[in-house]
Structure 1
Amino acid sequence: MKLTAIALALAAASLQILPAQAATAPAAAAPTMDAAGVWDLTPLYPNAAAWETERQAILAELPKLKALQGTLGANAGALRAGMDQISAVKKRIYRLAVYASLRADENTKITENQARNQQADAAFNQFGEATSWLNTEVAALGADKVNGFIAQDAGLAKHAYGLRTILRLSAHVLGAKEEALLASAAEPLQQPQAIYNLLANADMPWPKVKIHGKEVTLDQEQYVKYRSDADPKIRLQVFKAFWPVFKAYERTLGATYAANLRGTVFQARARNFPTSVAMAQGGDNIPEAVYRTLVEETNKGLPTLHRYFKLRSRMLGLKSAGYQDIYVPLAKPSASYTVAEAEQLTLTALQPLGKDYTDKLAAGFKGNWMHSVPQRGKRSGAYMNGSAYDVHPFLLMSFNNNYNSLSTLAHEWGHAMHTVYTTGAQPFETSDYSTFIAEIPSTANELLLADYMVEHAKSKQEKIFALSQELENIRGTFFRQAMFAEFELKAHEAVEKGEPITGEKLSAIYLDLLKRYHGDAEGVLKIDDLYGIEWAYIPHFYRDFYVYQYATCISAAAYFAEGIGKGDTALRDRYFTLLKAGGSDDPYLLVKAAGLDMATPAPYQAVVRRMNRVMDELEALIATK
């Protein structure tokens, strides 16, 4: 997952609300920063005192940005000077936020770091208030005048796309007073995610269970570790112990997410968007047809997903499979992996991308960019944060020595290398590439790794494992994320219709999707009603209409990975042109220029065909003696 300093950095039009990640929590000991598997944050700031000095310096700049109001239309030079001044402060505040969020995510129980993260969020919100007049002023200048200024002053070239985006979205830009009011509302609208993060990561009372004779605290990290246990009784034990914790907080979690939904709908209506999804797509100018075509085509492909679940049940010897059985590997890997071994395998698998790519990747591996050691209180999941433009990207994951960790490492470093190529080719102003593109290089890395593992399998069992992992990647990245996307769509539409939203209702919506996607009615997988609470486990839902892009991106990634893996250098060139383009144009158009129209059924149908081909190969392999 690509995560910026402010989750998804704003387009120049600044039309999206930024989720926070911080709140206070009980104090705990800080991790040792020179330990193996822990990132080095000193390239950002040498220490917390330097960070605070910079925060105060940034705050002192904000009145100067406010004073620019009314000056941009004087001439081309005035527009360039004003945009340069705003951009320079934005770049500094991104860096400020990166440091704060990384420190906070190392251990969500450290009060000092959570407080610093809140200060960074507040500073960014103050920046938003100080520049809230910008969109209104640019829109009032009009396209003819703005484009004329761009033609007169070469220094405006780096601001051109952002300025034209503001003009495109002018129908959704409000008056200066209203823009200031919405900017000041940003911080309170962020609080649902802040509450959720602390509740889910720091404050929930996780149960202790005996697994293989060992007492385990079944928090989120341990749930991920043990849900794939080879023993079906342990898998069921893990599910039956873990999910009641979320179920016990269903009302609170429901109220928290409902507050997030209502905040999004409020913003959409305030900005004159017909729907929440239209607002989410509007900033990047992505046709709504992309989202709705994905959902439609995924539902058409459910027989293929059900075929996969049936194949899994046969291979695992399960007469009656349940939801708790979807994570167990179909074959044992030949060995576990250290971080160093995973890095070397990734380098080897990604050789089709060329020497320049692998050289840059190897340098990143040696640079202490990543926090990979598991520890209590650490933010769950995995992400890459590349928002500090003048510094390298940073990555967070918990490496558990298994294939999933290997694949996650390849995925997140795909994000990191995307950032490296973008920042090497683009100025800060056009370096923030859209999530619509971000998940293509990360997922392409996963697919290239999967292809390598299949091709270089040393035994039948190893090949079975590699093929099954590729199938699992498609299930998790295409079908599962599309299911999440459909849930988000239904939840937002319910609020837009004025329907009451409770945790119980959200669980009912999710359970219906869970049963349909997993073939409960057809007897494919049995879905216990308890598992309808799984929606509350997904932090991505607090980043509205984000997850669907995993599914669209695996479709594009499959296209690139297949061709590049076969040695198509022309395709590889177009691929790197896409990576280097950053945020210099509408992401839908950038992908289309690379050869794919994501608003049509074709890319999604191709993924379903790929899944069927892999199952054909796996079934043929297991049929051999």
Structure 2
Amino acid sequence: MKCTVTSLMAAAAASLFLAGASLQAMDRSKIPDQDKWNLSDIYPTDDAWESAKKDLEKRLPEVERYKGKLGSSPKELLACMNLLFDLKKEFARLATYASQKSDLDVRDARAMEMRQSLDPLGAEFGAKTAWVDPEILEIPSAKIEAFLKEEPGLAIYKPVIEDIIRLKPHTLSPAEEKIMADASLVSGTPDSVYSVFSDAENPRATVTLSNGETVKLDASAYTKYRAVPNRWDREAVFQAFFGNLDQFKGTYGALLNGEVDKDLFFAKARHYKDCLSSALDGPNIPTVVYTNLLKNVHKNLPTLWRYLKLRQRIMGLDQLRYSDLYAPIIKEVDEKYTADQAKELVLKAVAPLGQDYVEVLRNGYAHRWVDFYPSPGKHSGAYSNGAAYDVHPFMLLNFNGSYEDVSTLAHESGHTMHSYYSNKTQPFPTSDYTIFVAEVASTCNENLLMDYMLKHTDSDAMKLYLLGSYVDNLRQTLFRQAQFAEFELKIHQMVESGQPLTGENLNKAYAAIIDQYYGVPQGITEINPVCYSEWAFIPHFYYNFYVYSYATSITASTAISQMIMEGKPEAVKNYRKFLTLGNSLPPVEELKVAGVDMTTDAPFDITMKAMNRAMDQMEAILDKMDARKKAAPSGK
């Protein structure tokens, strides 16, 4: 396209307009195409999607022709595995298109219909292939080894087959596996209803700010306005937003109870002793990793409290409140960024990872891998989806122009590049990395961004802001996610012991945990009781023990990023190798490739040292600022 001065001015005006208008969701027609997904990269049209879906439905029965034959020859086993994973790949592509389309506007009935139409297809897929794992388990181990040696094509399935064998104690008979697969028709209902109610049908509260502006507090607006400088406004936002959640705590409680009941059903059916064991056994993570995380976090709560006291000092408050935790830590620093500025900052920050890494990411930004801005009905929050193996990853943001949003772009870009390199390097069966390593690349990028920003400012105020953001990121990604992980474990234990999850019970359970984490008995933080309904705002509780991986991953990524920033030999090479592994190795072994041993306390200890080191720097800057104020002539 010909570039003219007029078009450049129009683009600049659009960027400025979007940065200012991002306070609330805006009409998608007013957002430039370059900042919106191009879903035609997956399927050119909805009709093409429908055609692909019908084709998969026709091909699905072909799997059953291999039933009873897997142990007859390596060629039969290979043919079945090739067909099975080809169908899985196409199903993932179908699901990506439908879910992305629906997430752009959860009110879109047609998109929701497409998404929901995959539920029965997924159930049928599971039912028609439920016999595969049990039949593989019937093949003697020696015969499996002989098949792998005789047929080279089976090599890409070796990790898959080994994992099937590992899970033998929890694999049921073919008939029982079919029932388990059929159960997927209803197992996703709590999450689906939660998403629709939270993102579209909840009659969100409105709040009138001190400047007279009235704001409807959907999730994106809450995220924006909880960080405003005016303390009265922040408290009003918290009161209105969480008051709305508390009003519907009965509904949210019933949904979460249904989700945990589902987890318990699957755990019991597969002969696990509890839900945690069931959730972590799939990705091959010992439960001690989870429990050790909580133990180490509790041991280091004084480090969190140190930061909270430091935040209170910087903000000049007599008493820190829960509603103060997202406010700008330095009043003088209120940086705003356009989408283009955010992209350039992230690209410069990840430069230590190599020019090819930077160029792939730059190309993704230029070719609409990211849907940037909030719009009516759009899914809240942010994520990266790399499930469309033969296409490219997609990032969803709700960009509001804050530094936090720039950091979110860096975070999701880390996920995206992890998916990109895994998909590019691994065959489809071993391309999808596990939950345990899922947040390493994302939080490593956040650390690199922070390091870049600190190195490119001479302002003490800006350094204080950045260091505060870094430490607060550790608060949110390590301590806050561990707080969620502890709550998730608690509610599963409640259901396992026969206790119902009512809104009231969930509020009480959540209150006990956040009071301890934020030092309420010690007088460190004051929490408005309405905030005890915050659990209803967290969609991750529908992901079956996912949030702990944020906390474990940031300790791993802190250790990795420290090695990269210190220029340790082979650090970048080892990390880049890790990004290509997919799920070809057990997750703990994959992190060892990157130079981190998660079976030790070393990554956690490194993270705590980094957090305290950052707070040392913050206190030194504050002391210097205080000294300058005292030395200044009176009245100046």
Kept in 2: contact 1:413–1:442 (CA 8 A): yes
- The answer to whether the aligner puts 1:292 opposite 2:271 as a matched pair is no
Counterparts of 1:165-564 in structure 2, within 5 Å, are 165-211=163-209, 212-331=211-330, 332-333=332-333, 335-564=335-564
Identity score, percent: 38
1:380-406: CA deviation from partner (whole Å, max 9, x where unpaired):
110000011100111101110110110
Q: CA deviation at 1:527?
A: 1.3
Distance (Å, rounded) in 2 between the aligned partners of 1:131 and 1:286: 26
* Aligned twin of 1:15: none
Distance (Å, rounded) in 1 between the aligned partners of 2:141 and 2:552: 32
* Aligned twin of 1:67: 65
Letter in 1 for 2:80: G
* Aligned twin of 1:41: 39
In structure 1, the gaps of 5 or more residues are 1-27
In structure 2, the gaps of 5 or more residues are 1-25, 629-636
Distance (Å, rounded) in 2 between the aligned partners of 1:520 and 1:376: 37
Letter in 1 for 2:300: G
Q: CA deviation at 1:33?
A: 8.8
Query: What is the TM-score normalised by the length of structure 2?
Result: 0.92
Q: CA deviation at 1:144?
A: 2.1
Distance (Å, rounded) in 1 between the aligned partners of 2:514 and 2:122: 38
Kept in 1: contact 2:101–2:111 (CA 8 A): yes
Q: CA deviation at 1:361?
A: 1.1
Kept in 2: contact 1:297–1:605 (CA 8 A): no
Letter in 2 for 1:37: D
- C-alpha spacing 1:195/1:449, structure 2 compared with 1 (3 Å): same
The residue matched to 1:337 in structure 2 has which SS? coil
Letter in 2 for 1:452: Y
Distance (Å, rounded) in 1 between the aligned partners of 2:321 and 2:539: 24
The residue matched to 1:395 in structure 2 has which SS? strand
Letter in 2 for 1:282: D
1:149 corresponds to which of 124, 147, 150: 147
The residue matched to 1:600 in structure 2 has which SS? coil
Q: Which stretch of the first structure deviates more once superposed, 352-361 or 539-548?
A: 352-361
Q: CA deviation at 1:352?
A: 1.1
* Aligned twin of 1:608: 608
Distance (Å, rounded) in 2 between the aligned partners of 1:193 and 1:344: 36
Q: CA deviation at 1:209?
A: 1.9
Distance (Å, rounded) in 1 between the aligned partners of 2:160 and 2:29: 40
Query: What is the TM-score normalised by the length of structure 1?
Result: 0.94
- C-alpha spacing 1:348/1:30, structure 2 compared with 1 (3 Å): closer
Q: CA deviation at 1:221?
A: 0.7
Q: CA deviation at 1:545?
A: 0.6
Distance (Å, rounded) in 2 between the aligned partners of 1:54 and 1:255: 37
Q: CA deviation at 1:32?
A: 7.7
* Aligned twin of 1:82: 80
Distance (Å, rounded) in 2 between the aligned partners of 1:545 and 1:142: 34
1:57 corresponds to which of 50, 55, 58: 55
The residue matched to 2:38 in structure 1 has which SS? coil
Q: CA deviation at 1:324?
A: 0.4
Q: CA deviation at 1:104?
A: 0.5
* Aligned twin of 2:633: none
* Aligned twin of 1:16: none
- C-alpha spacing 1:288/1:126, structure 2 compared with 1 (3 Å): same
- C-alpha spacing 1:477/1:502, structure 2 compared with 1 (3 Å): same
* Aligned twin of 1:18: none
The residue matched to 1:241 in structure 2 has which SS? helix
The residue matched to 1:581 in structure 2 has which SS? coil
Letter in 2 for 1:181: I
Q: Which stretch of the first structure deviates more once superposed, 136-145 or 263-272?
A: 136-145
The residue matched to 2:207 in structure 1 has which SS? strand
1:537-563: CA deviation from partner (whole Å, max 9, x where unpaired):
000010011000000010010111111
The residue matched to 2:214 in structure 1 has which SS? strand
Kept in 2: contact 1:483–1:513 (CA 8 A): yes
Letter in 2 for 1:362: R
The residue matched to 1:384 in structure 2 has which SS? strand
Q: Which stretch of the first structure deviates more once superposed, 596-605 or 400-409?
A: 596-605
The residue matched to 2:390 in structure 1 has which SS? coil
Letter in 2 for 1:338: T
The residue matched to 1:42 in structure 2 has which SS? helix
Larger Rg: 2
* Aligned twin of 1:3: none
Q: CA deviation at 1:615?
A: 0.3
The residue matched to 2:66 in structure 1 has which SS? coil
1:543-588: CA deviation from partner (whole Å, max 9, x where unpaired):
0110000000100101111111122240111111111111101111
Q: CA deviation at 1:63?
A: 1.0
Q: CA deviation at 1:29?
A: 9.2
Kept in 2: contact 1:333–1:403 (CA 8 A): no
- C-alpha spacing 1:352/1:599, structure 2 compared with 1 (3 Å): same
* Aligned twin of 1:13: none
Distance (Å, rounded) in 1 between the aligned partners of 2:145 and 2:333: 58
Kept in 1: contact 2:571–2:595 (CA 8 A): no
Letter in 1 for 2:288: A
* Aligned twin of 1:117: 115
The residue matched to 1:541 in structure 2 has which SS? helix
Q: Which stretch of the first structure deviates more once superposed, 492-501 or 54-63?
A: 492-501
- C-alpha spacing 1:30/1:465, structure 2 compared with 1 (3 Å): closer
Kept in 1: contact 2:335–2:403 (CA 8 A): no
The residue matched to 1:605 in structure 2 has which SS? helix
- How many residue pairs align between the two structures? 598
Distance (Å, rounded) in 1 between the aligned partners of 2:529 and 2:150: 64
Q: CA deviation at 1:589?
A: 1.7
Distance (Å, rounded) in 2 between the aligned partners of 1:97 and 1:333: 42
Q: CA deviation at 1:293?
A: 0.5
The residue matched to 2:384 in structure 1 has which SS? strand
Distance (Å, rounded) in 2 between the aligned partners of 1:254 and 1:210: 29
Superposition RMSD on alpha carbons, in Å? Answer: 1.5
1:349-368: CA deviation from partner (whole Å, max 9, x where unpaired):
11111111111111111110
Distance (Å, rounded) in 1 between the aligned partners of 2:427 and 2:78: 15
The residue matched to 2:172 in structure 1 has which SS? coil
Distance (Å, rounded) in 1 between the aligned partners of 2:175 and 2:27: 45
Distance (Å, rounded) in 1 between the aligned partners of 2:267 and 2:29: 41
Distance (Å, rounded) in 2 between the aligned partners of 1:75 and 1:33: 56
Q: CA deviation at 1:36?
A: 4.2
The residue matched to 2:395 in structure 1 has which SS? strand
Distance (Å, rounded) in 1 between the aligned partners of 2:360 and 2:488: 37
Distance (Å, rounded) in 1 between the aligned partners of 2:218 and 2:334: 28
1:580-607: CA deviation from partner (whole Å, max 9, x where unpaired):
1111011112113433232333222221
Distance (Å, rounded) in 1 between the aligned partners of 2:562 and 2:333: 24
Distance (Å, rounded) in 1 between the aligned partners of 2:579 and 2:360: 14
The residue matched to 1:476 in structure 2 has which SS? helix
Letter in 2 for 1:218: L
Distance (Å, rounded) in 1 between the aligned partners of 2:596 and 2:462: 33
Q: CA deviation at 1:30?
A: 7.8
* Aligned twin of 1:5: none
Q: CA deviation at 1:31?
A: 5.7
Q: CA deviation at 1:287?
A: 1.1
Q: CA deviation at 1:501?
A: 2.0
Distance (Å, rounded) in 2 between the aligned partners of 1:600 and 1:293: 10
The residue matched to 2:526 in structure 1 has which SS? coil
The residue matched to 1:67 in structure 2 has which SS? helix
- C-alpha spacing 1:220/1:334, structure 2 compared with 1 (3 Å): closer
Letter in 1 for 2:439: E
